């Protein structure tokens, strides 16, 4: 197979490319704009591979995408390119609308032009796989709420995005489904829970906590830290993406979760405890934890019902949170130069 991955220099995109390159004999074209969060060093091991190519391109450039597709002749497109940091979307929503909404529209149109050029049999087997987030559903009742009953996000959950980021992703989901219904484009949609693991950009909770702690800086925690997230190890996520691409039914949505609901404050404490074990010091890392003003519109709880992908496609996550978090902390301790360089870049941008 020949696969286009948009946003392949990002955290999940690069993990997907490394996974597909290792597990298959597929040819992969990585299309990425290389924003502050894009990092080709995470794919350095593939630089000499004849099965990997890189195209520096913003997905809003429809004609350039169409031309690239006509030349590369993909069997599928896996769309991960997105602005994804909630705090940045609150400060400035414009880039999120441009990339996540306008960019997805341009990509869909470039894909449709290419798809229409294929033979009838190739059109049937072609797939456009849109990778999205559980944040499009808003939030769920919290254990502290009177109406809490262990509710989970399913594929039938109503959309109720809270931030400019999640609203832009919700819009992109709707565009993809509309291109399926109106034009017949064979699409797949997946909505995942919070990813974590190696090469995670350092402005996100887990890598930021690790770096702040080992630098002796204050570890900021929003509000009271009681927000709950379902944590999904990135290698589990990308294995699910391959499973959906190869076995999912066009027009269907599949929720992908790690089955690991953990409060933010507990995540931070677990990281501090691991660092105390792996890199002991006289003062406790946990003493650096400081509660700060809560994020505007902060969702209190996310949790995925992953029964559909398990029952119909046979996929399950392979990492529990304790195992995945330990592996992640160890990776950052062994790759501090990479992490600090990326963090400094984020601060500049």
Q: Tens of pLDDT along 40-68?
A: 999 999 999 999 999 999 999 999 999 99
Whole-angstrom distance, CA of residue 340 vs CA of residue 27:
32
**Encoded tokens for 121:** 């049999």
Q: pLDDT exceeding 90 applies to what percent of the chain?
A: 94
Let me know if residue 275 belongs to a domain. Answer: no
In the set 32, 39, 135, 203, the catalytic residue is 135
pLDDT tens by residue, 244-271: 999 999 999 999 999 999 999 999 999 9
* Residue 295 pLDDT: 93
In the residue annotation, 254 being an active-site residue is answered as no
In the residue annotation, 135 being an active-site residue is answered as yes
- Rounded mean pLDDT, 30-35: 96
pLDDT tens by residue, 77-97: 999 999 999 999 999 999 999
- Assign 349 a pLDDT band (cuts: 50, 70, 90): low
In the set 165, 254, 285, 302, the catalytic residue is 165
- Rounded mean pLDDT, 160-164: 97
* Residue 339 pLDDT: 87
* Residue 306 pLDDT: 97
Which residue range forms the structural domain that includes residue 137? Answer: 2-197+234-258+299-319
* Residue 346 pLDDT: 66
Is the predicted pLDDT of residue 29 greater than 90, yes or no?
Answer: yes
Let me know if residue 158 belongs to a domain. Answer: yes
What CATH number has the domain bearing residue 69?
Answer: 3.40.50.720
- Assign 344 a pLDDT band (cuts: 50, 70, 90): confident
Whole-angstrom distance, CA of residue 254 vs CA of residue 304:
10
Instruction: Give the chain's domain count.
Output: 1
Whole-angstrom distance, CA of residue 304 vs CA of residue 189:
15
- Rounded mean pLDDT, 122-136: 98
- Rounded mean pLDDT, 299-303: 96
Let me know if residue 328 belongs to a domain. Answer: no
Let me know if residue 42 belongs to a domain. Answer: yes
In the set 134, 139, 299, 305, the catalytic residue is 134
The per-residue pLDDT of the chain, averaged, comes to: 96
Q: pTM for this one?
A: 0.96
Let me know if residue 52 belongs to a domain. Answer: yes
DSSP track, 213-261: HHTT--EEEETTS--EEEEEEHHHHHHHHHHHHHHPPTT-EEEE--S-E
Residue 1 is classified by DSSP as: -
Let me know if residue 76 belongs to a domain. Answer: yes
In the residue annotation, 323 being an active-site residue is answered as no
Let me know if residue 285 belongs to a domain. Answer: no
* Residue 272 pLDDT: 98
Let me know if residue 330 belongs to a domain. Answer: no
């Amino acid at each position: 197979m020949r696969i286009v991955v948009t946003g392949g220099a990002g955290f999940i995109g690069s993990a997907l490319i490394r996974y597909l390159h290792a597990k298959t004999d597929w040819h992969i074209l990585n299309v990425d704009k290389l924003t502050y969060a894009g990092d080709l060093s995470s794919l350095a091991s593939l630089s000499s591979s004849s099965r990997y190519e890189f195209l520096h391109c913003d997905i809003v450039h429809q004609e350039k995408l169409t031309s690239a597709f006509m030349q590369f002749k993909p069997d599928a497109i896996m769309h991960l390119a997105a602005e994804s940091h909630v705090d940045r979307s609150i400060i400035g929503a414009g880039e999120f609308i441009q990339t996540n909404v306008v960019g997805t529209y341009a990509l869909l149109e470039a894909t449709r032009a290419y798809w229409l050029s294929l033979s009838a049999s190739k059109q049937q087997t072609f797939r456009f796989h849109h990778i999205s987030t559980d944040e499009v559903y808003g939030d769920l009742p919290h254990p502290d709420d009177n109406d809490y009953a262990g509710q989970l996000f399913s594929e039938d959950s109503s959309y109720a995005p809270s931030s400019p980021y999640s609203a832009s992703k919700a819009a992109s989901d709707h565009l993809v489904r509309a291109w399926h219904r109106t034009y017949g484009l064979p699409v797949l949609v997946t909505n995942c829970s919070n990813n974590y693991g190696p090469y995670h950009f350092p402005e996100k909770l887990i890598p930021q906590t690790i770096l702040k702690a080992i630098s002796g800086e204050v570890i900021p925690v929003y509000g009271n830290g009681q927000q709950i997230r379902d944590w999904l190890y990135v290698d589990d996520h990308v294995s699910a993406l391959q499973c959906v691409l190869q076995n999912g039914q066009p027009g269907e949505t599949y929720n992908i979760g790690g089955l690991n609901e953990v409060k933010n404050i507990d995540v931070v404490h677990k990281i501090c405890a691991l660092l105390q074990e792996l890199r002991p010091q006289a003062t406790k890392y946990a003493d650096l934890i400081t509660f700060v003003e809560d994020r505007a519109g902060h969702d209190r709880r996310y949790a995925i019902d992953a029964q559909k992908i398990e029952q119909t496609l046979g996929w399950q996550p392979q990492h529990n949170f304790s195992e995945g978090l330990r592996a992640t902390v160890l990776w950052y301790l062994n790759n501090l130069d990479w992490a600090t360089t990326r963090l400094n870049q984020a601060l500049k941008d």
